[in-house]
Amino acid sequence: MKSREKEREWEFGDRIFEERLDQNILRQRLYRYLLFEPEVQSIYDEEDDALLLSLYFRNPPGRILRKKWTCPWRVIPNLENWINFFKESEKNFYNEFYYNIDYNLVENLHEKTKLMYPNDSSVILCTQFKSGDENMNHYRVLKENLIFGIRKSTNSFAREFSELWANFENETKLLVEMDTIGKE
């Protein structure tokens, strides 16, 4: 951990913890923990033939962490995009293939995530996705065994409205959407 995460002090000398899980239980636990978007560090130990896996939260002093992800450019660019996205970017310049799709339809794919860690041990994720000219926002709150959030309505008649959704521990799902009947 010290070699991979230098900004933090790590001390594991006072604990020895080993847990053996079958593959199904491991998948279920990893899925549940990965919903909270933790930092993941892994290393393979050849001597013991074991995978050492660490999932943790960076939890900075202001309790807010920002992440950004951008996909390499995958469509044939015009001159403006060549100057903005290829001139200084080896990642885009050396792509193995490009799609022959109008760049206005796809452009580059971006994702910005803001993770907030309140004092109540929950995690609030605000994610903005951008593809072409379309921006999409996704808000999730993860607290104990409850996941809920706000998203753009999936109802074709209520596109301009938002809906509240929740997934409970017992696999029950709840969806609350705005009623548009009689609003015209």
Examine residue 30 and state whether it is found in any structural domain, yes or no.
yes
Domain of residue 5 covers 1-56
Number of C-alpha atoms within 13 angstroms, CB side, residue 163? 17
pLDDT tens for residues 79-119? 887 787 777 777 777 777 777 777 777 777 788 989 888 88
111 lies in some domain: no
> Is residue 9 in a domain?
yes
Q: How many domains does the chain have?
A: 1
Is residue 31 one of the residues assigned to a domain? yes
- At residue 47 the predicted structure's pLDDT band, cuts being 50, 70 and 90, is very high
Mean pLDDT (the chain, rounded): 79
Placement of tokens 């696999």 in the chain: 171
86 in a structural domain: no
Report the distance separating Cα 165 and Cα 174, nearest Å: 6
Does residue 50 surpass a pLDDT of 80? yes
Mean pLDDT of 44-68: 82
User: For residue 113, is it within any domain?
Assistant: no
Range with the poorest average pLDDT among 26-35, 62-71, 157-166: 157-166
170 Cβ neighbours under 8 A, 6+ residues apart:
none
Whether residue 119 lies inside any domain: the answer is no
Of residues 9 and 153, more confidence is placed in 9
* Angle at 38 (CA atoms; ends 18, 164), nearest 5 degrees: 125
pLDDT digits (tens, 9 = 90+) for 14-34: 777 777 888 899 888 888 788
Q: Rounded to whole angstroms, how far apart are CA atoms 122 and 64? A: 12
Q: Is 15 inside any structural domain?
A: yes
Q: Which band of pLDDT confidence, cut at 50, 70 and 90, is reported for residue 150?
A: confident
Q: Is the model's pTM score more than 0.85?
A: no
Q: Name the residue among 41, 37, 99 with its Cα closest to residue 69.
A: 37
* Per-residue confidence band for 9, with pLDDT thresholds at 50, 70 and 90: confident
